[in-house]
Each structure stands twice: as C-alpha cells, then as structure tokens.
Structure 1
Amino acid sequence: LSNPPVSLKQVFNKDKTFRPKRKFEPGTQRFELHKRAQASLNSGVDLKAAVQLPSGEDQNDWVAVHVVDFFNRINLIYGTICEFCTERTCPVMSGGPKYEYRWQDDLKYKKPTALPAPQYMNLLMDWIEVQINNEDIFPTSVGKCKEEVLKHKLPFILVLSMFSSHIFRDIKAVEQQVGSRRDQK
C-alpha cells in the first residue's frame, strides 16, 4: 500500500480541511492576551499556570482567546494528518472504541447521525468557524464579551476536545499501521 505524497496545496485547501487562523489585531488588548498565552504555552511551563487568568484581565476575553487558539492548533494538526483520515480508514467519527460522535444540526441532520469522520470533521470545522466569526459570541473588541456569552464558549472546548480525541487516538493508530507497512517494504 503506497500513499502518494500530499502537496501543501492539498493540505491547505480551504475547501477541504484547512481553515486560515483567526488573527487578533496588533495593538489590541486581545492581541496582547494572545501573545501572553503563546509565550506561556511555548515556554515549557506548567500548563496549569499557562491557562490561569492573568491578574487584571477579563475572564471572558481570556477564555475567548484560548478557544480560538485551540481551534487554530487543532485545525493545523488535522491539516497535517488528514491523509490518514478517509472514509475507508475512519468510517465513523469516534474517540476510541467507547465513544462514537454523531452529527446533528438545524439544517440537514435533524437527528443525531453517524457520519464518516472526514465528513463529520468538515461539518464541525465549518460550524466552529461560523461561530468564531460571530461577533455576538466571539467579539473582537475587548470588554464586549458579555457574562452570559462565556457559557457559549464551553461547548467549543468540549467539541474541540472530541475532535482532538479522534485525531490523537484513531488517526494515530492508522498512521502507525501505514508507517509499519512502509517499514516492511
């Protein structure tokens, strides 16, 4: 079994899985929060300390920055390994043998529906991107985050965690199988 090399054009094709990173405007407080989060995550410090609310910062803005960063990181990771997640290798969206995720929305899938993982992930990333770009949920101006909006961000963390469980558990297993086949040649 031979896998053709994936070109960068394929990996970063917006119509497939890649989504451009949401950027924070330089000079804004959100940009400063983003830089602080990046520095703490890249410095090798304790993760608990890295995600603690800095003194004097708004909790809603801090959570919003981390949700967007999480989305960007998961998106980039998936873009590099999406060749291993096909309808054949991942016929169902799961996070291991005990967890199967089903898609439901208000448009096409009125009831929870089992979908192949690539289709589920594309729908999920499209949905998250729409939500992140919604100024009512993720305002770009500091201090515009209303207290009740914070509760809307928690499902994003859960959904992105489900997404990452599929990436790190199921796709990693497929990738290892393909790698061992390549080594045997």
Structure 2
Amino acid sequence: MSFFNSIGRSMSRNPRGPKRSPTPTSTTFPDMPPPPVPASPSSPAPSKPLYLCSPFVEAALVKGNFKTIVVLPKYVDIMEWVAVNVFDFYTNLNEFYGVISECCTQQSCPTMAAGTNLNYTWINQDRKSVNLAAPTYIDYVMTWVQNLLDDENVFPTKSGHDFPQTFPSTIKHVYRQLLRVFAHIYHAHYPQILHLRSEPHFNSLFAHFLAFGREYELLDIKDVKGAANAPVGIGMLWDRWREMGILEG
C-alpha cells in the first residue's frame, strides 16, 4: 500500500483517540578526530557482528513474517495508523537508548558510526554537513522527533484537525533518522543489549520497524544497506531476516 498516494483519503476522519502502542508489548559541535584509516589488504578480516550470530539473530518475541502485523486494519484511517506506529517506534527506541546511553559517550562514540566505514553526519542550520559524536547526534534526533509529536499542526489529536499534506514527507524524514539510531545501536552497543538479555525485544522492535517502513514506503533500501564503499552494518541483518522469512523484500 502506498502511504504517499493515500493522503487525500484522510481529510475527513473520526476524532483521534488516545495513542496506543501497536507493538507487541513486552549548536556547539565538538572537534572530531580524523577519519579511521582503512584496513590494509593484509589485515585480518573483521569478525562477524554479534547480531548476525546464532542464536542472537533468531531471537524475537514474534515468530513468523512481520507482514502480518503491519497491514492496515479494517476501518482504520491510514494516517492514524502511521502516526500511532511512528509514535510507538520512537517511544520504544528512546527507552532502549536510555538504558544503554551510559555506554554511548563522547569518548566511546566520537562519531555516529553505523558500519566499519560509515559515519552519519548532521545537516546544521546553515545546511552544512557536520560530524557529531553519537550521543549528540541521537539527542538531536530524539528532541526533533519529540517536538514533532508534540506539534498539533503535524500530529493532530483534536477533533476537526486533519493531518497536513506534508505529513508523509515528514514521516519519511523521521523514519530515516530513527533508522540511523537503530543502526548505531546495533553497530556499537549490541553487546549491552545482550548483557541486558533484551535482544528478543530489540530485534522484534527493529523487524517491526523495517516491515512497517517497507509496507508504507517510508523506508528506502539504500538507507538500510548504504553504499558499496560504506555499507550500513544492519544491511546484512536485513538480508538475513529476509532469508529467514521474517521480512519481505
């Protein structure tokens, strides 16, 4: 279903109820270090990330294909469905990051790394790309999304207030930034997730996020996988879960 082609259908809708979670429960920039030097051909191959190793890659709260829990329910407005799910993804991801945030510091994570050769950059108010330490980057993302969620002009909750025409585009930007937070946690902090024995919860949340994003065209595969010379670590997880039948292409 194309979310971007359906916005006209939401201009007349019932009053919005309280937000509920559809997820299965359970401008001062620091100086950055120089970029990492690529490994020489003689260097040993890096070990496989823990999140790709068994049994962690199979750990989940929900078994089967996540397609079944992202399909638009009958009689539910698509804008409401997308809004409540995005609210839920943000809330749960923010809670996970809050738990491991003590391990994500300016010293331990001086860049927003999501792969061996990939560091995300932030676009500042001057439209310039700048490097940020991961905790600063993530704080910017979470604050920005929270402000959007609190804005009645973006996420209306009152009767008679409709979603703006720019809502699909805004959500796609939100999705891209939340994906980057997921990618950093998997790349840099999955051992902490394992230490907390939370890998089934985190994997399920991420698989749900990916499946929902693909179902409503909020997520580009190129964002999941990255470029050939700078792949996103979780791109391999996407492929593995597709092989396992958890996700669709």
Please indicate the TM-score interval, normalised by the length of the shorter structure. 0.5 to 0.7
Residue number in structure 2 paired with 1:158: 176
- In structure 2, the partner of 1:47 is 66
Other-structure match for 2:144: 127
Report if the CA contact (8 A) 1:93-1:100 is conserved: yes
1:172 alignment partner in structure 2: 190
> How do 1:137-152 and structure 2 match up within 5 A?
137-141=154-158, 144-152=162-170
Q: Deviations over 1:12-55 (max 9, x none)?
A: xxxxxxxxxxxxxxxx7443x725x24xx248364211111101
Bigger relative contact order (CA 8 A; separation at least 6): 2
Tell me the distance in 2 between the aligned counterparts of 1:145 and 1:30: 14
1:57 to 63, 68, 76: 76
Instruction: Describe the shift of the 1:59–1:147 C-alpha distance in structure 2 as closer, same or farther (beyond 3 A).
Output: farther
Contact 2:16 2:80 in 1 (8 A): no
Larger helix percent: 1
Tell me the distance in 2 between the aligned counterparts of 1:48 and 1:141.
Answer: 30
User: CA RMSD, aligned part only?
Assistant: 2.6
Displacement of 1:147 after TM fit?
A: 4.7
Unaligned 5+ segments in structure 1 are 1-27, 179-185
> So what's the TM-score if we normalise by structure 1?
0.68
Contact 1:85 1:118 in 2 (8 A): yes
Distance between the aligned counterparts of 2:116 and 2:177, measured in 1? 18
| 3-state SS of 1:94 partner | strand
**How much does 1:66 deviate?**
0.7
Relative to 1, partners in 2 of residues 1:91 and 1:145: Cα closer, same or farther, differing over 3 Å?
A: same
Matches within 5 A, 1:65-104: 65-104=84-123
Separation in 2 of the partners of 1:104 and 1:148?
20
Identity of aligned pairs, percent?
Answer: 27
Q: Distance in 1 between matches of 2:105 and 2:166?
A: 38
Q: Which residue of 2 aligns with 1:114?
A: 131
Q: Is the 8 A contact 2:122 2:132 kept in 1?
A: yes
Q: Secondary structure at the match of 2:97?
A: helix
- How big is the shift at 1:164? 0.9
For residues 126 and 68 of structure 1, the distance between their equivalents in structure 2, rounded to whole angstroms, comes to 13
